[in-house]
Chain A
Amino acid sequence: MIAAPPASAQPPPAPAPRRAGRGRELAWLGFTLPALVWFLVFTVGPLVSLFYFAQTNWRGLLSPRTFVGGQNFARLLDDPVFHHAILNSLVQLVVSLPIVIAGAFMIAYYLALRPRGHRFVRAVLFTPVLLSAPALAMIFVGVFSPSGLVNSTLESAGLGELATPWLAVESTAATAIMIVIIWSSMSVSAVLLASRLNTVPSELFEAAELDGCGHWRRMWLIAWPACRESVGVVTTLQFLWTLFSSAAIVLLLTRGGPGTATVNLSFLVYDYAFNQSKVGYSQAIAVMLFVVGVLGLVGIRRLFRQRY
């Protein structure tokens, strides 16, 4: 007697219906060729050549270059300006990232509760997205200038003796840059996180509320883990923005000064290449910048993905 197959067994699954066979797939992928070529020529190509240029002695964009191997990197080791730039970049990241992420998350939680005026708050929070780096920097030229917004405010509050030229004093210029970074990015992160929080099922919060959890504990013990992945995304964006885009803020507000007080890595790449005729050397710094960027991205990924 032939054993009947168990009733639950299904016939072997038919191959999933494909829209295109092998050969046709290749034909289809021809459509992706222009986009791919563009991406390789204008994005990947320059990035790869960066690693070669970093090993050249090269004084001006239009002058000849000679291959010198790791010499530029050796020079980095005892360049005080580079050390200052690394330090400033790290400080900018270490100080601004936690403030922006924690602040944005708390604002997002607040918005998700839909208190009175939350629509207005959202609209205001969204406005810095629209500012270009030059517009942002120029607005803050007015805020921090000797007769600008901050000093006028101090003056009218009777604190006139605290007024200083904020961007021209070594001890305050770096803080001013940091304030611009935080001002312009915390709001956007808050809007992003708020839209994620709106999709968290409200039963989660209701159960916690019944258990007597206040807003503070609900925020950090329930909402935060629920949004873990989005927090990771926002942290990534913020990290990239702080590391790279801050160059424009530095360039337009202080040009790295006074002295070298506010130089950071991304600014230095620009400054050495275009203002100081150290093109090859600047590319060694660009490689370092790239390495810091990749390490940071990998680190952030680890931090926010591990607890699944």
Chain B
Amino acid sequence: MKRTGPLGYLAHLGVWTYVLLLLLPLYYLLISSFKDNTGILTAPFSPFTGLRPENFAQAFHNATLGPALLNQAYVTVGASVLTLVLALPAAFALARARGPLGVLIERIFAMGFLIPGFAALVPTVLLAISMQLFYTREFLVLFLPASAMPLSVLLLTQAMRAVPAELEESAVIDGAGSWRLLWSVYLPLARQSVTVVVILNFLSFWNEYFFALVITGPDTAVRTAQVALPTLSQANASQYGVLAAGIVITLIPVYVVYALFADKMEGAVLAGAVKG
């Protein structure tokens, strides 16, 4: 800021206060995860009053986080792969077909943005029951891609439209069929958007809560980490340290991915929102 009037100071103060308010609960979470109740009560703000790594072991055990994290990974990876398998050919076709039917199909997907899936919570459970997939992870693997389909298809279509026609023509002259064309010409050129789609879907599938709650139910063998986590607050109402440790455990995968791909991830979220 070039001129720092009273408004400028106010702006600095306001923004940094907000930053502090964002960090404080996260800081509190992190330090509490290493404390017992006495520590949380008597020294709420001091870091590491006597380390208690057993909080993590206890959280892991009480909420059966081991299988829960594996289930979460299974659902996330399965749904992400299925989304790509479905969305890539669709985007490939939509990018090339510009007739009225193609426009119509694209519009159907664009409308999908505006469908609030949450309203259909109960009918979705009914669908799971009628497919005999209630209380299974497999239904989530099948269902979640549908919710991600509009954004995935539109982002990929946009990227594939940018593939120059000459490239395609020369590939066709060389005798490439449709699948070959998709695999060796379009996919490599749309790589960036594929990354964006994968990151966005990873985030939303890993963090999915409500549908996972009603579909996988309370069974510890199939429930996901997001469903298992809140049970810690009911079972250990008086021990925030254990709950905090549980939260930290479920956050680690996401933050590791973020640490590795910070720039890509921010770009992906921006791209996703702008399309929305």
Known: A53-B122, A289-B119. A124 touches B23 (CB 8 A): yes
A residues in contact with B142, CB < 8 Å? 42
Nearest-Cβ distance from residue B209 to partner chain A, whole angstroms? 5
Inter-chain contact B126/A61, CB cutoff 8 Å: yes
Report the minimum CB–CB distance from A156 to chain B (whole Å): 7
Q: Is the CB of B28 within 8 A of A142?
A: yes
Q: Answer whether A132 and B206 are a contact pair too, CB < 8 Å, given A31-B92, A53-B122.
A: yes
Q: In the assembly, what is the distance between CA of A19 and CA of B165, in Å? A: 8
Given contacts A286-B121, A290-B119, contact A121 B19 (CB under 8 A): yes
A129 touching B25 by the CB < 8 A rule? no
A32 contacts partner chain B, Cβ-Cβ < 8 Å: yes
Would you call A215 an interface residue if the criterion is a C-beta within 8 Å of the partner chain's C-beta atoms? yes
Contact A134 B126 (CB under 8 A): no
Contact of A107 with B15 in the complex, beta carbons under 8 Å: yes
Contact with B along A271-286 (1 / 0, CB 8 A): 0011000010011001
Nearest chain B CB to A115 CB, angstrom units: 5
Number of interface residues of A (CB under 8 A): 102
Known: A42-B124, A270-B210. A244 touches B149 (CB 8 A): no
Chain B interface size, under 10 / 10 to 19 / 20 to 34 / 35 or more: 35 or more
Q: Which positions 199-218 of chain A face chain B at CB distance < 8 Å?
A: 214-216
| Interface contact B1-A45, CB-CB below 8 Å | no
Q: How far does the alpha carbon of A129 sit from the alpha carbon of B261 in the complex, in Å?
A: 14
Within 133-167 of A, Cβ neighbours of B (below 8 Å) are at 133-135, 137-143, 145, 147-149, 152-153, 156
Given contacts A47-B123, A273-B121, whether A141 and B11 have CB atoms under 8 Å apart is: no
Least CB separation from A137: chain B residue: B230
Give which listed residue, A38, A46, A134, A141, contacts B86 with CB less than 8 A: A38
Cβ-defined contact, A32 with B105, below 8 A: yes
Whether A124 contacts B22 by the Cβ 8 Å rule is yes
A293 to B229, CA, bound (A): 29
Q: Mark each residue of chain B from 135 to 150: 1 if its CB lies under 8 Å from any CB of chain A, else 0.
A: 0000000110111011
What residue in chain B is nearest A47 (Cβ atoms)? B120
**Residues in chain A near residue B207, CB distance under 8 A:** 130-133, 135
Q: Which residue of A lies closest to B214 (CB)?
A: A274
Q: In the assembled complex, which residues on chain A have CB atoms less than 8 Å from the CB atom of B24? A: 149
List chain B residues, Cβ under 8 A from A240: 116
Q: How far, in angstroms, from A45 to B153 measured CA to CA in the complex?
A: 19
In the assembled complex, the Cα of A191 lies from the Cα of B266 at a distance in Å of: 9
A32 to B182, CA, bound (A): 13
Classify the secondary structure of B's interface with A. Answer: helix
A116, chain B: closest CB distance, angstroms? 9
Are B273 and A293 touching (Cβ within 8 A)?
no
Question: When the two chains form their complex, are residues A214 and B5 in contact, meaning their CB atoms are under 8 A apart?
Answer: yes
The reply to whether B18 and A286 contact each other, CB–CB distance below 8 Å, is: no
Q: Does A43 contact B (CB under 8 A)?
A: yes
In the assembled complex, which residues on chain A have CB atoms less than 8 Å from the CB atom of B190?
Answer: none
In the complex where A42-B143, A62-B129, A270-B121 touch, is A19 in contact with B226 (Cβ < 8 A)? no
Question: B77 at the A/B interface (Cβ < 8 Å)?
Answer: no
Contacts of A25 in B (CB 8 A): 97, 99, 101-102
Residue B80 at the chain A interface, CB threshold 8 Å: no
**B250 within 8 A of partner (CB):** yes
Contact A49 B126 (CB under 8 A): yes
B232 sits at the interface (CB 8 A): yes
Contact at B22–A125, with CB atoms within 8 Å?
Answer: yes
Closest chain B residue, CB of each to CB of A35 = B90
Report B219-238 CB contacts with A as 1/0, cut-off 8 Å.
00000001101101100000
Contact A183 B21 (CB under 8 A): yes
A237 touches B273 (CB 8 A): yes
What is the minimal beta-carbon distance from B34 to any residue of chain A, in angstroms?
Answer: 13
The answer to whether B123 touches A49 (Cβ under 8 A) is yes
B89 at the interface (CB under 8 A from A): yes
Which residues of A sit under 8 angstroms from B143, Cβ to Cβ?
42
Bound: A237/B246 CA distance, A = 29
Interfacial chain A residues near B28, Cβ < 8 Å: 142-143, 149
Q: Which of B62-104 contact A (CB under 8 A)?
A: 85-87, 89-90, 92-94, 96-99, 101-102
Chain B contacts to A: CB under 8 angstroms: 1, 3, 5, 7-8, 11-12, 14-16, 18-19, 21-26, 28-29, 32, 40-41, 44-45, 85-87, 89-90, 92-94, 96-99, 101-102, 105, 108-109, 112, 114-127, 129, 142-143, 145-147, 149-150, 153, 165, 168, 178, 203, 206-210, 214, 226-227, 229-230, 232-233, 240, 243-244, 246-247, 250-251, 254-255, 258, 262, 266, 269-270, 273-274, 276
In the complex, given contacts A38-B149, A149-B24, what are 11 additional A-B residue pairs having Cβ atoms less than 8 angstroms apart?
Answer: A29-B93, A50-B122, A103-B18, A125-B22, A133-B226, A138-B246, A214-B3, A236-B276, A266-B118, A283-B122, A289-B116
Q: Can you offer 23 A-B residue contacts whose CB atoms are under 8 A? A: A34-B89, A35-B86, A35-B153, A38-B86, A45-B127, A47-B123, A49-B126, A61-B122, A107-B18, A115-B1, A121-B16, A132-B207, A132-B209, A133-B207, A137-B230, A140-B25, A191-B270, A192-B269, A192-B274, A196-B274, A215-B3, A215-B8, A273-B122
